[in-house]
Structure 1
Amino acid sequence: MAEELRIVLLGKTGDGRSSAGNTILGGDFFEVMSSPESTTHKCSVQHNKVNGRLISVIDTPGFFDTRLTEEQLKPEIVRCITECSPGPHAFVIVLRAGRYTEQEMAVVKKITESFGEEAFRYAVILFTFGDEEIDDDCDTIEEFVETSDELQELVDKCGGRCHVIDNRYWTEAQKGYRSNKRQVDKLLKTVDKMAALNGGSCYTNDLLEAVEQGIQAETARLQEAEVEKDEEEIKRLAKENIHRVLMMILGGVVGALLGALFGLVVTALSDPASKTVVVLLGTVQGAIAGVKAAKHEKSIKGALTKAFQANLCCFTDRFSKDTD
C-alpha cells in the first residue's frame, strides 16, 4: 500500500468536483463556488491525512467542459502534469448522478475519446448528488449506471469501478450506503486494489517521468542555492519553475496536451524525442534556448525535438535574468 495516494479529479464544471475533493479529504480544502459561472478555471492541489495516510488531491478546472477549449485550459493542463508527477494513483472521473442531457453525454463521450487504454486501468467513476438517485427504487449506484448504455460503457472501460457520494446530504450522521465516510473508505480501497492490479505502481508515461526527473534536478539545484528555505518550499519552487519551463516550451502546441497526459499520444514521446524532455527538464536554466528553438512548432514532438537540438545547458545565468 502506497504511503501517499495522489488522486486527480476530472470532470466538468458544476458536477461537484471540488466539493468531492473536500469530501475525500474530510474538510474544507478546495474553494467551492456558488455557481458554475463563478468557478475559476485553475488547477489546485490539497493534502490531508485520511485514516493515517497522506492523500493528495489535484482538482482540475473542468478539462472536459464542452464550452472550454484546450487552448484556454493549457496552462492548467500543464500545471496538472507538474503537480501529479511522477503520476497519479487514480484518475477519479466525477459525474453527476441524474437524468442525462445531450451535454452530459457529450462530456462522457469526450472522456472516453481522451483516455488511452493504460489510463483507463487507473480510472474510477465517482458520482455526486447521490441523494437524487439512491432511493427505494435504486438501491445502489450500479443500478443507476445500468439505466444508461453510455454510462455503462464508460464504467466498463474503468473496470467496473464506480462509487457515489452526496456532498450535501450524506453527512457523518448518515449510516449504511448513504454515508460519505463509508463511500470514501470504499473509494480509497478501490484505488489501493487498482494499484495492486497494476503492479503496485502509479500511472505514468514518458512525459510524466521526464517532468519528475526535471523536478528532482531542479530541487537538487535549489537545495544548494536556497539554503534558508525548508524542504516543502523548495519542492514548491521546483514545481513552479518546471511548470514555467513547460509553458514556454509547449506554448505553441495545440490539441495534444490532454492526449499526452492520458496516454493517447504515446508516439509523441516514444522515440528519441523522449530524451528531449529529460534533457530539457534536467536543467531549468536551458529554457530560454529551448523556447527560441521551439516557439514556431505546432506539435509536442516538434517542440521538444527543436528544444533538444538547442544547447540547453549553456544558459544558466541568462535564464535567471530573463525570467525575473
Structure 2
Amino acid sequence: MEGSTTQDEIRQEEKDGSGSSEGGQTDLKERELRLVLLGSAGAGKSSAVNALLGGLASESDCTGPETPAPDCQKRRGTLAERQVAVVDTPDCLCVERPAEDVRRQFSLCAALSAPGPHAFLLCVPVHRPSNLELQILETVEKVFGPEAVSKHAMVLFTRMERLPEDVSLDEYLNAERPDLLELVQKCRDRHHPLQLGSGAEELVEKVEKMVEESGARFYTCPLLREAERRVKEKQEEISRSRGGKGGDDREGIRAEAERSVDHLEVEGIAELCVSTTDASFLRRLWDSAVGWLLWLPNMVRGSALLGSIVGLFVGGPLGGAMGATVGSVATEVGRRKQKTK
C-alpha cells in the first residue's frame, strides 16, 4: 500500500523541489491549484468541471446520466484569479476493470496531478445512497495513503436540486442521511454544495483553507513523487529529441510527458481488483433498488415482482436470497407508507 509521507518530509521535499515554474514562491494564491475529481457514474463530475472552469453545465449534466471518460482527463482554467487544473477520473477510478487497466488509470491520475494535488473532491449526489462513495474513499486511502482523505479530501455534494424543499443541507445530513454524514465525517467535516452558477469561488476558498490547515503546500506520497520523477525524465527526453528547442512550449511538453506515464508501480492493485466486478455490480443493483423504494409510491403491489426480477437478474442462490430480501424490504416500505396516509 502506498503510504503517505510525514508532514516534515513533505515540507522538506517542497523546499528542495520548488521548481522554476513556481518561481520559488510560497503564496498558494500565486500557484496552480490542482484538484482531483472522484465519483461514480452520474455523480455530477461534468457539472463540477464546468463550475470550476467557468463553463456552462448542460441539461444532461444536471439531470441525466453522464458519459464517463475512458481515461483520466486534465483540463485547465481560471477561477477567482487562480489557475486551476482539474483531473477528472473515470468512474471509481475504474476499479472494476482488469488489473492492468486499473494500474494505468492510477498511474495517469498520479502523473496528471503531480507533483501532488491540493485536494481530492468526491462528487456525491445528494439524493443517492453512498455505499459506492465510501468505497472510493477507501480506495484512495489504499493507493495514495490515509492523509489523502483525512487532510486533503472534501465531499462535493451535487444534484442539489434534489434536496427536499425548505431543508438545509446540514439538517438533511443530520436528520435523514447518516450514510452521507459518514462520508463528511471521514473527510473531517469538509463538504461543499455545488450550486449551478454559483459557489465555485467559495469552494476554492475552502480548498485553500484545507491546504493551509494541512501544513503542506500540496499532498504528496511515494506514488506521486515517483510520478513527478518520471514526468520530469520524459520532459527532458522530449526536449532532447527536439534538439533542446522545447523551451517555448514547456506546457505542451509537460502535458505530453504526463500522458506518457501510465505504468507506475501501484501497490494493492490485486486487492482492489479481486471480485470487484461482481461486488460493484451487486452494490449498484442494490443501491438502485433501495433508491426506487425510497422515491416511488405504492410499492406493495410491485414488491414481489421487484424481488423476482432481482433474483432472476442476479441468478443462482445469491440471486434468490437477494431477490427475497428486496421483495421483503419493498413490502415493508409499502406498508409503512400506507399507514402514514
TM-score greater than 0.5 by the shorter chain:
yes
Q: Which residue of 2 aligns with 1:106?
A: 131
The Cα shift of 1:211 comes to: 1.3
The Cα shift of 1:218 comes to: 2.4
Q: Distance in 2 between matches of 1:40 and 1:162?
A: 25
1:192-231 equivalent positions in 2, closer than 5 A: 192-226=208-242, 227-229=244-246, 230-231=249-250
The Cα shift of 1:93 comes to: 0.4
Over 3 Å counting, the alpha-carbon distance change for 1:8 and 1:70 in structure 2 is farther
Q: Which residue of 1 aligns with 2:257?
A: 238
- Identify which of 117, 123, 132 aligns with 2:162: 132
Q: Distance in 1 between matches of 2:77 and 2:66?
A: 28
Determine if contact 1:43/1:76 at 8 Å carries over to the other structure. yes
1:57-136 equivalent positions in 2, closer than 5 A: 57-63=86-92, 68-69=96-97, 71=99, 72-98=101-127, 100=128, 104-114=129-139, 115=141, 116-120=145-149, 121-133=151-163, 135-136=165-166
Give the SS at the match of 1:235: helix
Over 3 Å counting, the alpha-carbon distance change for 1:65 and 1:105 in structure 2 is farther
Structure (1/2) with the larger helix percentage = 2
Over 3 Å counting, the alpha-carbon distance change for 1:133 and 1:250 in structure 2 is closer
Give the SS at the match of 2:188: coil
Give the SS at the match of 1:155: helix
Question: Normalising by the residue count of structure 1, what TM-score does the alignment of the two structures yield?
Answer: 0.64
Give the count of matched residue pairs. Answer: 233
Q: Distance in 2 between matches of 1:73 and 1:134?
A: 37
Unpaired segments of 5 or more residues in structure 2?
1-26, 274-341
Q: Which residue of 2 aligns with 1:54?
A: 83
Over 3 Å counting, the alpha-carbon distance change for 1:74 and 1:37 in structure 2 is farther
Q: Which residue of 2 aligns with 1:157?
A: 186
Q: Are 1:185 and 2:210 matched, yes or no?
A: no
Give the SS at the match of 1:6: strand
Fraction of identical pairs, as percent:
28
RCO higher in structure (CA 8 A, sep ≥6): 2
Q: Which amino acid aligns with 2:189?
A: G
Determine if contact 1:142/1:162 at 8 Å carries over to the other structure. no
Question: Normalising by the residue count of structure 2, what TM-score does the alignment of the two structures yield?
Answer: 0.61
Give the SS at the match of 2:215: coil
Q: Which residue of 2 aligns with 1:19?
A: 47
Over 3 Å counting, the alpha-carbon distance change for 1:70 and 1:191 in structure 2 is farther
Q: Which residue of 2 aligns with 1:301?
A: none
Q: Which amino acid aligns with 1:46?
A: R
Q: Distance in 2 between matches of 1:135 and 1:93?
A: 24
